[in-house]
């Protein structure tokens, strides 16, 4: 049986220096344990029953990779758009009052590109929703009815995965006259329209693929499952009650925004569970029965390998998580890549993004890596690749291939940590008889993005309180 390989779509929003996040405050350790979400990959048969055209198992492995590449392309465009405006400020410290022109930034959700899903319960009585996890936006919303009489009269409503906010005992609309609506939620597209002070704060949320959702903000109770199996109620989670959805979104119930803003689900959950979350990615190109989780809180597993840590650079390339890389080595030998490629302050830098499948290297880095693979790949017949955007560029006929023929690649971080992915995370099965290097090139200046395939077979811990990223090889079978 083929599986739901997993995971997440992470790259939380970073905080701005003027935000009133409680991170400077001493965080009290919570003893709520840990909360976990099962992560379902978009190619999982579990999602195959949707009406959507792109969910569930693809028809073949080539189509599988293609779908992921298309997603990468859309996502990369978003990343580029987002990073560049910020870069204009490179020589200045992060402004005390961030330039509002670049905000509200568009969400990176790129509906079509969501790759990982979770199920999520909200409301009283609770309803279950299948949500895309998005790292680049902070609003968690679902199909919902509050004011509208005739919304969702189409076949989607037959699923009943619609929140009835009007009858939910725990739903509290945010008033449009509140500062929360007028200021804090401005980045989440709140509207100024306020017919009466107590009228709900409404939004017009646009994703970069053109999908638009209209609705109103409210506090609602969410129910998460703890690792010990108990359910835990989280009151006053900010959600969006979406009454109108325009675009290709009819088959999904909503989005879980993991963006790092005070009202985001990620921050609320992180706060409750020790300011930490982790995910572990297994090989999603090969069939497996492993189920993966996104976990908020400390994972206490004695079998867990010791983690290496590197600094998480927060607040520089909002909303993404950046890391300080010092180089790439092949078989222990550092490649001669110019150091500005890794420097976030001079147009380069490296982002860890589980929303991207392949690893995107800026040209100067890509060329050195490609050159280092020339000799080992010379024994194989090169296959032509399409020049369409984010497709892998170096592919070959794998007759006679053995992993041991490939060099060992490592990513070195400035503080000494070293990521050594298994060969199958950078020499990918693209189709029957065909393998490709899991790297694509992007123009310089630009960001290098460590994609989710390179992150596979590792546990990743985002420690927000200590601004550090931990990682360790893992079979992802911990509880």
Ligand X SMILES: *[C@@H]1O[C@H](CO)[C@@H](O)[C@H](O)[C@H]1NC(C)=O
| Residues found near ligand X in the complex (CB under 6 A) | 172, 174, 219, 236, 313, 324, 344, 414
Residue ranges of the alpha helices (H) in 38-175? Answer: 61-87
Q: Which is nearest to 258 in space by CA: 128, 42, 107?
A: 107
**Residue 339 beta carbon to ligand X: minimum distance, rounded to whole angstroms:** 9
**Residue 151 beta carbon to ligand X: minimum distance, rounded to whole angstroms:** 22
Please, what is the end-to-end C-alpha distance for the chain in angstroms?
22
The widest CA-to-CA distance across the chain, in whole angstroms, is: 73
From 72, 110, 184, 353, active-site residue: 353
Interatomic CA distance for residues 55 and 143, integer angstroms: 18
| Phi, psi angles (nearest 5°) of residue 162 | -135, 130
Task: Show the tokens assigned to 115.
Answer: 């790759």
Is residue 353 annotated as a catalytic residue, yes or no? yes
For residues 367 and 443, is the Cβ–Cβ distance under 8 A? Answer: no
In terms of Cβ atoms closer than 10 Å to its own Cβ (0-12, 13-18, 19+), residue 179 is: exposed
Task: Show the tokens assigned to 143.
Answer: 């199909």
**Residue 178 beta carbon to ligand X: minimum distance, rounded to whole angstroms:** 7
Q: Name which of 349 and 421 has its Cβ closer to ligand X.
A: 349
Q: Name which of 370 and 414 has its Cβ closer to ligand X.
A: 414
18: three-class secondary structure by DSSP: coil
Contacts of 270 (CB under 8 A, 6+ apart): 276, 277, 296, 464
For residues 392 and 438, is the Cβ–Cβ distance under 8 A? Answer: yes
Interatomic CA distance for residues 474 and 462, integer angstroms: 16
**Residue 297 beta carbon to ligand X: minimum distance, rounded to whole angstroms:** 20
Residue ranges of the alpha helices (H) in 252-312? Answer: 265-272
**Residue 219 beta carbon to ligand X: minimum distance, rounded to whole angstroms:** 4
From 134, 209, 283, 463, active-site residue: 134
Q: Name which of 267 and 358 has its Cβ closer to ligand X.
A: 267
Interatomic CA distance for residues 23 and 25, integer angstroms: 5
Asked if omega into 319 is within 30° of 0 (cis), the reply is: yes
**Residue 174 beta carbon to ligand X: minimum distance, rounded to whole angstroms:** 5
Q: Name which of 111 and 313 has its Cβ closer to ligand X.
A: 313
Q: Name which of 86 and 172 has its Cβ closer to ligand X.
A: 172
Q: Name which of 311 and 393 has its Cβ closer to ligand X.
A: 311
CA dihedral 111, 263, 117, 303 (to 10 degrees): 140
Interatomic CA distance for residues 417 and 411, integer angstroms: 8
Q: Name which of 112 and 348 has its Cβ closer to ligand X.
A: 348
| Sheet containing 333-334, strands listed edge to edge, beginning at the edge strand earlier in sequence | 333-334, 325-330, 409-413, 418-419
Q: Work out whether the CA dihedral 131, 137, 139, 142 comes out positive or negative.
A: negative
**Residue 400 beta carbon to ligand X: minimum distance, rounded to whole angstroms:** 42
Q: Which residue is nearest to ligand X (CB)?
A: 414
**Residue 344 beta carbon to ligand X: minimum distance, rounded to whole angstroms:** 5
Contacts of 77 (CB under 8 A, 6+ apart): 208
Is residue 134 annotated as a catalytic residue, yes or no? yes
Residue in this structure with the two tokens 């350790």, named with its chain if needed: 29
Q: Name which of 331 and 415 has its Cβ closer to ligand X.
A: 415
Residues carrying an active site annotation: 134, 353
């Amino acid at each position: 049986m083929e599986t739901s390989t997993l995971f997440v779509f992470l790259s939380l929003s970073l905080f701005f220096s003027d935000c009133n996040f409680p991170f400077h405050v001493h965080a009290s350790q919570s003893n709520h344990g840990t909360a976990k979400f099962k992560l379902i990959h978009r190619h999982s048969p579990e999602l195959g029953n949707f009406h959507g055209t792109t969910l569930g198992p693809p028809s073949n492995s080539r189509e599988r990779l293609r779908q992921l590449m298309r997603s990468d392309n859309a996502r990369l465009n978003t990343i580029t758009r987002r990073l560049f405006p910020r870069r204009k400020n490179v020589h200045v410290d992060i402004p005390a009052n961030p330039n509002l022109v670049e905000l509200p930034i568009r969400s990176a959700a790129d509906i079509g590109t969501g790759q990982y899903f979770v199920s999520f319960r909200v409301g009283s009585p609770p309803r279950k929703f299948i949500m895309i996890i998005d790292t680049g936006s902070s609003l968690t919303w679902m199909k919902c009815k509050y004011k509208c009489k005739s919304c969702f009269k189409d076949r989607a409503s037959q699923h009943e995965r619609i929140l009835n906010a009007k009858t939910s005992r725990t739903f509290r609309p945010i008033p449009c006259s509140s500062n929360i609506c007028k200021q804090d939620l401005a980045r989440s597209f709140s509207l100024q329209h306020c017919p009466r002070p107590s009228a709900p704060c409404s939004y017009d949320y646009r994703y970069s693929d053109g999908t638009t959702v209209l609705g109103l903000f409210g506090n609602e109770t969410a129910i998460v499952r703890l690792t010990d199996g108990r359910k835990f109620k989280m009151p006053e989670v900010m959600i969006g009650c979406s009454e109108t959805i325009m675009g290709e979104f009819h088959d999904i119930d909503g989005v879980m925004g993991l963006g790092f803003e005070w009202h985001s689900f990620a921050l609320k959950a992180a706060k409750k569970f020790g300011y930490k979350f982790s995910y572990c990615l297994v090989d999603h190109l090969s069939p497996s029965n492993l189920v993966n989780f996104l976990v908020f809180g400390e994972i206490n597993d004695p079998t867990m390998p010791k983690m290496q840590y590197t600094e998480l650079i927060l607040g520089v390339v909002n909303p993404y998580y950046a890391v300080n890389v010092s180089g790439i080595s092949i078989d222990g030998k550092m490649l001669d890549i110019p150091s500005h490629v890794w420097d976030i302050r001079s147009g380069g830098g490296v982002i860890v993004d589980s929303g991207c499948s392949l690893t995107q290297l800026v040209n100067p880095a890509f060329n050195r890596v490609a050159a280092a693979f020339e000799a080992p790949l010379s024994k194989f017949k090169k296959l032509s690749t399409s020049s369409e955007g984010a497709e892998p560029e170096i592919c070959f006929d794998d007759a006679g291939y053995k992993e041991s023929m490939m060099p060992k690649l490592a990513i070195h971080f400035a503080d000494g940590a070293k990521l050594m992915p298994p060969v199958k995370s950078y020499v990918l099965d693209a189709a029957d008889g065909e393998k490709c290097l899991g790297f694509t090139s992007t123009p310089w200046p630009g960001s290098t993005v460590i994609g989710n395939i390179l992150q596979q077979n590792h546990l990743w811990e985002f420690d927000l309180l200590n601004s550090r990223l931990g990682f360790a090889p893992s079979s992802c079978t911990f509880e």
